[in-house]
Amino acid sequence: MKFKKLSKKLSITALAIFALGTGSAYAGYNIVAGPQGNGTAYTPAGWKVTPAGVTKPAGFYPANAVLSPDGKAVLVPNVIRNANNKQAVNVLDAKDGSVIQEFELNPDDSSVRQGTSPGLIFSHDGKNVYLATANKDSVLVFDWDASARKLKLNRTLNLPRGTYAADVAISPDDKTLYVTGQYKNNINAIDVASGNTAQASVGSYPYGVALSADGHTAYVTNQAENTISILSVNGLTLTPQKKITVGTHPNSMLLDAKRNQLYVSNGDNDTVSVVNTLNNEIVHTISLAPYKGAPTGSSPTNMTLSPDGSTLYVTNSGNNDVAVVNVSDKGDGKGDSKGDDKGDYGRIKGLIPTGWYPTGVQVAPDGKLLVTSAKGLGTGSNKGKDPANPQNGPYIESLLQGYMSIIPAPSESQLEKYTEMVQKNNGFDEKGKVKESDDAETIIPRHPGEESPIKHVIYVVKENRTYDQVLGDLGKGNGDPSLTLFGKDVTPNQHKLAEQFVTLDNFYADGEVSQDGWDWATEANSNPYNQLATHQGYAGNGSEYDSSGYLDSQVTAGNADPNRAFLWDAAAAAGKTFRHYGMHSLPSNWFGPNNQVKCQPGQYCAYEPLLNDNTDHNYPWFDMWIPDMKRYEEWNKEFQQYITNNNLPTFQFIDLPRDHTAGGATAKELVADNDMALGKIVDTVSHSKYWKDTAIFVVEDDAQGGVDHVDGHRTIAQVISPYTQRGIVDSHFYSQVSMLRTMELLVGMKPLTQYDAAAMPMIYSFGNKPNYTAYDTVMPPTVNASVSNPVVKPGESVTVTAKVTNPSNMPLSGATARMVTPDGWTATPSTIKLGTMAPGASTDLSWTVTAPASAQYGRQQLTVQVDYPVYGKSTASSKANVTVSVPDANMIPQSQMKATATSEELVGENDAASQAIDGNPSTFWHTKWDKSDVLPQSITLNLGGTYDINKLAYLPRQTGDNGIITGYNIYVSTDGTNFTKVTSGTWSSSHDEKIATFPKVSASYVKLEATAAFNGWASAAEINVFKAGTSSQTAGTAQPTNPSVSTQSAVSEQSVMKPENMVGQPDSVDPQKLNEEIWRAVKGPNVPYPAPKHNFHGPDNDDR
């Protein structure tokens, strides 16, 4: 087999921009995703964004652009919430794009049913504006002041709950609205005056609605099909007539009343169908494919006509352009190849570059084009601005600043230049040719179907992490260690894999979050339905979760043929074998009589029949309570059978989800389990006979779970095979679609969409000389520790003992152990060398730890840290903590107290009031989980005597957030019946101990009343009361509580009480971000969930 060589004049780490292939300039090395600082950008897929004209901010994810009747204003509904946590309709000046008004809506107030969607329309008399509200199930009626160009909310027209109002049309007499109900599969008629409604059934997932010129025929696009439904309408009378077939997954429509034509935008086969409204037949199909034979990906959405109706403008959302189409029934004078001018109908005259993901287009009275782009110029870095807290950066959705481009009507020559620009931006000048370089020394084939030494591909998808979160501390590559949450100590295997194979430090997730990220990772596309639902669901007013196989529908299948949308579909069509482990698996109780697939109780199945037939039904779905090591064990059972039977399939698709976090354990424990499982998969394969011809690809579904100093889309990825075992840093611009393109080429498959067709395959990661050295899993030594006495007075000593165990099947050499103490404390000995530990061996260690004479009151943490080698000179650490307390002489002993509460959870688990005075910070009092006892609730301490007191210390629960008290009253009593309030106030929602002080008062009982607390519960880990007197503690400063005097065993390092360790709080950089998959898992796929800007760890979550 002959491979092309890598030129000696180029090195992997060179910083340069170079040309690849025959036509496109490809940005390698120092080009990164996001805004480039000059009004241009690169998408995560590597496509250049060069918007024409002048761009002005248009809110966040503008979903449409609607021109006012006088042409002086453009109304832009924003899907993503603004800085005030509100959705908005922006009113922009049609001449210069300046903001005239930002009309804010409140999606969180269920009583007003406000929200946005692309569905916005003016009344024919120009006096009103109507806006569909998506899952708010209503239409908002605005008054329109044409002179001031401003909106004023008039009233709300309600629809039945569960409708999901997607689009709206209005009758010629302005008396009746017609609204698509996307989740009810219906069309709704609303009498504007009375609010009365009527419904009729249409197809699956209806989206767009349009009326004929006389207002008596309604057309509805069925976005999960390839049809439009046609109905006769007259006020509230709706009479279904028939369906007609159009392109795949139609969305928007545009009526040309003068020509009796209806244009239908088909989002997944890149066409516009033209319907003759006189006979309701298809008369033309306009192709928007960027080149002959191009796969899916243009994603046409909105349309408008030139004033004379001869030119159709179409937003190609997937191509970041507006297509300029001749629709003149007289031709445009250019003629076709045979000189027939009328045959020129539907010719693409040119393409105009826009911002990322154009969603709306209008023609202003002065002839300029007005184009909204939902994602503008991308996100860039989301690193926090505060140097002291760089991990406190913005959530990726909040960075999707949209724009409106104001583009002068281009001349013919300018349009040619624009068209050439679009082609180069997207790599269309290559016409799907594999991007290559004569300098690449690689096994990656240059053409689909060519031979490669790789016969088996294992594709592993994990969850949500940025590059800096995990590999920022790697020590090589472009990392920022200040942003690393899950570094070497938590992810030693991912660090070793990056060191031993290839470090990919310029790799991107193509979507923003899991909902679109999973589609990008498995079908190289996120179609118009998925895009809108994603951003509406994560940062708008809610939607159903439509990804990861959660819907028994093909509405998100982003391909002209929905049956071949996903990589496994294409593999089967190409004659390849595959096995599926969890990616689209769901529990058996998600399947009912209406589902084609039948799932046996206790098994995990997929809605897609082909995928289900090739699924391991014992492999768990997305469930954080199930360890990824259990998933590894299930996968390995089948892998060993494949070895025995010599029948390993071409593809294995593996979901390893636990690095998502939120449920089952602390975040670090979850990520560590995920890391171990990945290491074991690689270890198992590399020690098998299949290692020589297998490649393992590992990627996150998205990068939403944290911050990154390069771009919010940058993520971790690994390519693992004998041909990538090179120890290099590959900084070329890659993304998920690059990975898909690489897998496809290795096994002889064609690309799925335009995105993987145009993507740079990972030719610099794969060499042409194999290194068959096997990979050995890094299994961190386990550490358990205890302390002789958890109470230590100033100047006294305690003994800390630890047991260190090597759980690996390999000897552990070069490890050392040391005691980490607070400042001023001493430990003897300092460092202990562990020598060589045999597999399974343990060793016992001890230190004498002395508190300084100046030790202050409070809890102090002592840490046993074992440093061990990972790869080469790289080391990681395993830790165990013990807590000791320096007592305060004024603290009333908890041992003599008794506690009662107005509410206790005693059914789901023992969260009794007594646990707030047991000296154990890991237990806590909690009000009833079912919330039958609403706030305020209180806990009362019988002090066991009468004291003069002036202070109370409250320690919140140390795992999770629910019940952390943020508003309080404190009462005292001498008889337990008559109470007097002594103070009230607020506390932060952190896990630090809180102090409340008050004037000295005599008391036998103290009551802490929670007036406000996280998620409506109340909880407390420890409560202490202090006698009035002199204390070394500073009043008002949070200080630790005193544990019990019994010997206390340490917990693992992962339970250190830091934000990133909290159960149910996976994203410490944005604690308000919703755990969307957990909500879906608990509530089902169709239940709208709270907006991401609001903390939510629900009653059914682990975080109680």
How confident is the model over 315-327, as pLDDT tens digits? Answer: 999 999 999 999 9
pLDDT digits (tens, 9 = 90+) for 757-813: 999 999 999 999 999 999 999 999 999 999 998 889 899 999 999 999 999 988 999
Q: So what's the pLDDT on residue 639?
A: 98
Q: Nearest to residue 1054, comparing CAs of 776, 669, 636? A: 669
Mapping DSSP to helix (H, G, I), strand (E, B) and coil, where does residue 233 land?
A: strand
Q: So what's the pLDDT on residue 885?
A: 84
Mean of pLDDT values over 644-661: 97
**pLDDT band per the 50, 70, 90 thresholds, residue 1042:** very low
pLDDT digits (tens, 9 = 90+) for 810-833: 899 999 999 999 999 999 998 999
Q: So what's the pLDDT on residue 572?
A: 98
Determine which of 388-402, 586-600, 842-856, 1089-1103 has the lowest per-residue pLDDT on average: 1089-1103
Question: H-helix or E-strand containing 189?
Answer: strand 186-191
Residues with Cβ within 8 Å of 60's Cβ and at least 6 positions away in sequence, in order, are 78, 79, 80, 81, 82, 398, 400, 401, 402, 539
Q: So what's the pLDDT on residue 1055?
A: 23
C-beta of residue 577 within 8 angstroms of C-beta of residue 649: yes
Angle at 639 between CA 635 and CA 640, to 5 degrees: 120
Phi, psi for 947 (deg, rounded to 5): -135, 155
Q: So what's the pLDDT on residue 889?
A: 83
Pairing between β-strand 842-850 and β-strand 356-363 as defined by DSSP bridges: unpaired
The CB-side HSE value for 542 (13 A sphere, CA atoms) comes to 26
Q: So what's the pLDDT on residue 110?
A: 86
Q: Nearest to residue 1091, comparing CAs of 1069, 1071, 1076? A: 1076
Q: So what's the pLDDT on residue 1065?
A: 33
**pLDDT band per the 50, 70, 90 thresholds, residue 27:** very low
Q: How many CB atoms lie within 10 A of CB 748?
A: 17
**1064 pLDDT above the threshold of 90:** no
- Specify the residue for token string 């629900």: 1098
Determine which of 129-138, 440-449, 766-775, 1081-1090 has the lowest per-residue pLDDT on average: 1081-1090
pLDDT digits (tens, 9 = 90+) for 621-643: 999 999 999 999 999 999 999 99
**pLDDT band per the 50, 70, 90 thresholds, residue 919:** confident
Mean of pLDDT values over 1033-1059: 27
The CB-side HSE value for 637 (13 A sphere, CA atoms) comes to 10
CB pairs under 8 A, 24+ apart, for 796-801? 796/850, 796/851, 797/848, 797/849, 797/850, 797/851, 798/848, 798/849, 798/884, 799/846, 799/847, 799/848, 799/849, 800/827, 800/846, 800/847, 800/849, 800/862, 800/864, 800/882, 801/844, 801/845, 801/846
pLDDT digits (tens, 9 = 90+) for 183-220: 999 999 999 999 999 999 999 999 999 999 999 999 99
Mean of pLDDT values over 737-746: 98
- Specify the residue for token string 């603290």: 891
Phi, psi for 635 (deg, rounded to 5): -60, -45
- Max distance between CA atoms of the chain, in angstroms, equals 105
Q: So what's the pLDDT on residue 336?
A: 53
C-beta of residue 902 within 8 angstroms of C-beta of residue 913: no
- Specify the residue for token string 């934000």: 1059
**1057 pLDDT above the threshold of 70:** no
Residue-range domains of the chain with CATH: 41-386+400-430 (2.130.10.10), 466-758 (3.40.720), 782-886 (2.60.40.10), 894-1041 (2.60.120.260)
Mean of pLDDT values over 134-161: 98
| Dihedral sign for Cα atoms in the order 365, 366, 367, 369 | negative
**148 pLDDT above the threshold of 70:** yes
Phi, psi for 45 (deg, rounded to 5): -80, -5
Q: Nearest to residue 175, comparing CAs of 125, 131, 137? A: 125
Q: So what's the pLDDT on residue 714?
A: 98
**268 pLDDT above the threshold of 60:** yes
User: Exposure string (b/e) for 40-63, b if CB count within 10 Å is 16 or more?
Assistant: ebbbbbbbbbbbbbebbbbbbbbb
Instruction: Report which residue type is found at 515.
Output: Q
Q: Nearest to residue 363, comparing CAs of 317, 288, 303, 286? A: 303
**pLDDT band per the 50, 70, 90 thresholds, residue 888:** confident
**903 pLDDT above the threshold of 70:** yes
**855 pLDDT above the threshold of 80:** yes
* Rounded-to-integer distance, Cα 86 and Cα 115, Å: 9
Mapping DSSP to helix (H, G, I), strand (E, B) and coil, where does residue 630 land?
A: helix
Q: So what's the pLDDT on residue 330?
A: 66
**pLDDT band per the 50, 70, 90 thresholds, residue 1089:** very low
Q: So what's the pLDDT on residue 693?
A: 98
C-beta of residue 383 within 8 angstroms of C-beta of residue 716: no
pTM assigned to the model: 0.85
**First-residue to last-residue Cα distance in the chain:** 60
**pLDDT band per the 50, 70, 90 thresholds, residue 526:** very high
* Rounded-to-integer distance, Cα 498 and Cα 728, Å: 9
Q: So what's the pLDDT on residue 790?
A: 82
pLDDT digits (tens, 9 = 90+) for 464-498: 999 999 999 999 999 999 999 999 999 999 999 99
C-beta of residue 152 within 8 angstroms of C-beta of residue 143: yes
Token pair listed for 285: 């199909």
Q: So what's the pLDDT on residue 1030?
A: 52
